[in-house]
Each structure stands twice: as structure tokens, then as C-alpha cells.
Structure 1
């Protein structure tokens, strides 16, 4: 582990995430929707802490490598997406598209530049497989997934596919191991019912982080 890289990454993540509450406030509420439909915005200190922790963990796991340059901005965008999903149960298409642009484009170019088209093919296949799986679940009655979850899962699968199939497997399993206990605790404390929608975006992002760290 490179401590200076981890500290730099954490500083970057925390500083960039300081702007998240203001951006999330503007993007979380769909046009024509009342602010009462969304939960209260988190305090800036929590987004700064989340951004610093996420980026610091990536810096510690990846070290001084080009991949870190790709994933640090993605980490900040991930915190923003998580905040919006926790508040309003939505993952805005423009932000998911931006997340895709800052990950898929550089990873694709990197694989082609260093002469590893197989890595790119694996990432595309992972994105397609995971995207189809999540889409089928979303189309099931009571599936509990939105199309935003499907799109984000596919983008994250591409990023994990670039790292390898073990990362894809962990990234597929971990979100449900994260959300399962959360849903159970909400049911047991009667803060939610069986059909109460729960945000999956934060768990998808956390699962991808776990997968990246576990496979480095």
C-alpha cells in the first residue's frame, strides 16, 4: 500500500465531494415533483467523509497506476449518484451517462493502446450479461428494480469486467449481501414494508468498490 497515494486520493475525494450536496439538491428532484417526495439532504460532512473514504480506499488498493486516475472521478460521481438515490430513489440518466463516459471511454482506449483487445471484449461481455440480467429482473412484476439501476449495473460491470471475471462475480453478489441486511432491519423495525422501494444504487456502487479492492 502506498500511503502518500492513499492520502492524496482521500484528499481529492473529500474536497471534490464537498460540492455534492449542492449539486444533488439541484439534480435530485425531477421536474414537476415536490421536494416533499424526497428525503432530507445529508450534511456536507457526510458526503465529504464518504468521498474521502471511497477515494482513499481506491488509492490504497490501486496505488500509483493509471487506473486510479480513471476511478477517482468515478468515485466522486458514485457518491453523488448514491446521495440522489438515497434521497429520491432515482439515478438521473445524465449522471449515469457521465459515469459511463469517465470509465468506459478511458478503459476502452487503454485496453486498445496497450494491445489487449481481449480485455475490452471481456468488459463489453460483462456489461451485456449483467445488463440483461438486471433488465429481466426489472421487468418482472414486483422486481423492485428501476431502469436506472439496470444502466448503472451495466456500466459498473464494464469497469469490473476490465479487471476480470472474479471482480464481476463479486460485484454481482456484494450489492445484494449489502442491501439484504438493510432491508431486513427496516422490516423488523417496521420502518418499511415488503413492497417499500429501496435504493439499490448505493449498494451497487459499494459492491463495485469491494470488488475492485478485493481483486487488486
Structure 2
């Protein structure tokens, strides 16, 4: 197997595995632990850097870093506006997802970010309509960030 193909497989497998763990934790505990998110972000960046070296594609690496910074900054701004509405774990996860999506291209980043908000809002509205939650309820958003990322990749 080619080095680049192996690195690509590791990126996808790692993102899928970490995403599954974080979805479960966020649904059960309403938190996204730094001890998982931060090392995962570092590992993802390292794998993408190795992929860039193997493929001589530094542009994809720079785009991934900028995408992580951009999506993380966007979520940080949302948290600044309403600290109760967006958790710090969501901000850090958004940066990780931004790296993953922007590595694929700007359209994937935009589609994945938008999909998270659309899906999360649809879920919240469905729960409200079914009277399973009150308007002030806190809904874990990490699962929607992760699922939105995969939807964004599929959409582009």
C-alpha cells in the first residue's frame, strides 16, 4: 500500500473512531473531554502533515490549518455571544473538524459546518414538537458537529 493511501486511511479511521467515542460521551454526559479532543487534533494534524510531505501537497496542509482556525474561531465567536449556548468542548471539536474538512477543500468545510447547524436545529425542533424537551433545554451539539462533517464530505 502506498504511504499516502495508508495515511489517508489512518485519517479517516481515526476521525471515525474518535467521532464515535465523542458522540457517545456528549450524548451521555454533555461534555467533550479535552483529553480526547486535543490529542486527536494533534494526531490529525500530524497525519495530514505526513500526508502533505508524502504527496508534496503543502497547500492542503495550509488549508487544513486555516480551516481549523476558521471554524474554531467561528464557534468561539458563537460562544462569546452566548456562553450557555455553546460549550468550550464544542469550540475545540469545531477546530478539529475544521482541519479535517478543510483538508478536503473549502466546499467541504462550508458544507460540513452548515450541515451541523441544520441537523442540530432539525433535531431540536423535532424534540420540541414532540414535547420531549422544553425551550430552555441544553442539547449536546458535538454529535451534530461530527455528523455534519461526514454529511459535508458526502455533499461535495
- Calculate the TM-score normalised by the size of structure 1: 0.66
- The answer on 1:166 being equivalent to 2:128 is no
Runs of 4 or more above 4 Å deviation: none
Q: Of the two, which has the highest radius of gyration?
A: 1
| 1:170/1:211 contact within 8 Å kept | yes
- The answer on 1:178 being equivalent to 2:122 is no
| 1:112/1:120 contact within 8 Å kept | no
Separation (CA, whole Å) in 2 of partners of 1:166 and 1:209: 13
- The answer on 1:109 being equivalent to 2:109 is no
Where 1:65 maps in the other structure, the secondary structure is helix
Shift of 1:131: 0.8
Say if 1:153 and 1:195 are closer, same or farther in 2 by CA, change over 3 A.
same
Say if 1:114 and 1:152 are closer, same or farther in 2 by CA, change over 3 A.
same
- Calculate the TM-score normalised by the size of structure 2: 0.90
| 1:71/1:103 contact within 8 Å kept | no
Which of 40, 51, 56 does residue 99 from structure 1 map onto?
40
1:15-57 deviations in Å (ceiling 9; x for gaps): xxxxxxxxxxxxxxxxxxxxxxxxxxxxxxxxxxxxxxxxxxx
Which of 8, 13, 22 does residue 72 from structure 1 map onto?
13
Structure (1 or 2) with the greater helix fraction:
2
Which ranges in structure 2 are unaligned for 5 or more consecutive residues?
none
> What is the CA RMSD across the aligned residues, in angstroms?
1.7
- The answer on 1:200 being equivalent to 2:141 is yes
1:107-148 deviations in Å (ceiling 9; x for gaps): 122113322211111111111111111001011136611010
Which of 138, 141, 153 does residue 82 from structure 2 map onto?
141
Q: How many residues get paired?
A: 152
Which ranges in structure 1 are unaligned for 5 or more consecutive residues?
1-63
Q: Which has the higher contact order (CA 8 A, sep 6+)?
A: 2
